[in-house]
């Protein structure tokens, strides 16, 4: 059961990852799509028989406590289940749901990367104001650089052979920003949260990967951000648009 009392908006509406699997409740689906929770629940129930026939399992039914402390039913759905339910929604509602899942996955990827970083750093961490026996500050910084390099190698494994906008645009005399502007005008990408992202129409087609880099914010905290790069299939697609 999900206890809404005393929780903030995100905690009350989005289930945490269970066994590494991120889930979303029918409550958040209702808010994202502008529908009532009653109607979302009805749509899920109506679509469950077909899903059961093909997937051989029911949607997960759970519950939450409303503002009066009464237990109410809700569904807890995986990404695949959510996108199946979204086939009954209009284009705008589907787009909102797809973008919300993208945000959840990026947040979780960054959180997991940060936990891996902390675990590895703890192996060489020293008490505040003290030196590790026989280890200089320079050696510690070198080790930290190696750790960051290893983390980036792991994060960017899928994007190693991908092409940047500059790579694709160079034969045509286009800089990366020019190509991105062109693709934006074509409705292929859009600017979201400080970076270029595919529009919903072109998601899940194997056109792009994320290439991550690490930087430190003004407060000194380490952050990870990603940039869109194009797969072989994505490059051919872009070249087809350029003509």
Query: Does 76 map to a domain?
Result: yes
Could you tell me the two tokens for 175? Answer: 């800089």
pLDDT tens, position by position, 118-171? 666 665 555 554 545 455 656 655 666 666 666 667 767 888 889 999 999 999
* Greater pLDDT, 173 or 2: 173
The residue among 91, 119, 152 that closes a domain is 91
Query: Does 113 map to a domain?
Result: no
Number of domains observed in the structure of the chain: 2
pLDDT given at position 179? 93
CA 118 from chain centre, in angstroms, equals: 21
CA distances from 15 to 1, 4, 12, 45, 160 (A): 10, 11, 8, 20, 33
CB atoms within 10 A of CB 227: 16
- Separation between Cα atoms, residue 237 and residue 241, nearest integer Å: 7
Domain containing 34: what range?
Answer: 2-91
What does the mean pLDDT of the chain come to? 79
My answer on whether 242 and 144 are in the same domain is yes
My answer on whether 165 and 241 are in the same domain is yes
Query: Does 120 map to a domain?
Result: no
My answer on whether 148 and 240 are in the same domain is yes
Q: Look at the block and give the residue holding tokens 């749509």.
A: 43
The residue among 76, 91, 106 that closes a domain is 91
């Amino acid at each position: 059961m999900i206890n809404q009392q005393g929780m903030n908006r995100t905690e009350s509406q989005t289930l945490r990852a269970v066994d590494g699997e991120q889930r979303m409740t029918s409550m958040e689906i209702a808010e994202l799509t502008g529908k009532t929770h009653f109607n979302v629940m009805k749509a899920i129930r109506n679509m469950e028989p077909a899903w059961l026939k093909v997937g051989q399992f029911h949607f997960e039914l759970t519950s939450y406590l409303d503002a009066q402390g009464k237990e109410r039913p809700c569904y807890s759905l995986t990404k695949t289940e959510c996108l199946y339910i979204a086939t009954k929604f209009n284009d705008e509602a589907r787009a909102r749901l797809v973008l919300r899942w993208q945000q959840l996955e990026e947040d979780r990827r960054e959180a997991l990367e940060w936990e891996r970083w902390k675990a590895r750093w703890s192996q060489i961490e020293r008490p505040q104001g003290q030196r590790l026996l026989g280890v200089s500050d320079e050696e510690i910084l070198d080790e930290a650089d190696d750790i960051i390099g290893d983390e980036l190698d792991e994060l960017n494994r899928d994007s190693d052979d991908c092409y940047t906008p500059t790579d694709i645009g160079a034969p045509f005399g286009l800089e990366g920003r020019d190509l991105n502007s062109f693709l934006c005008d074509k409705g292929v990408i859009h600017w979201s949260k400080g970076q270029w992202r595919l529009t919903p129409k072109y998601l899940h087609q194997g056109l792009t990967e994320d290439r991550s880099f690490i930087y430190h914010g003004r407060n000194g905290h380490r952050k990870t951000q990603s940039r869109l790069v194009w797969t072989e299939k994505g490059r051919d697609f872009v070249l087809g648009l350029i003509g």
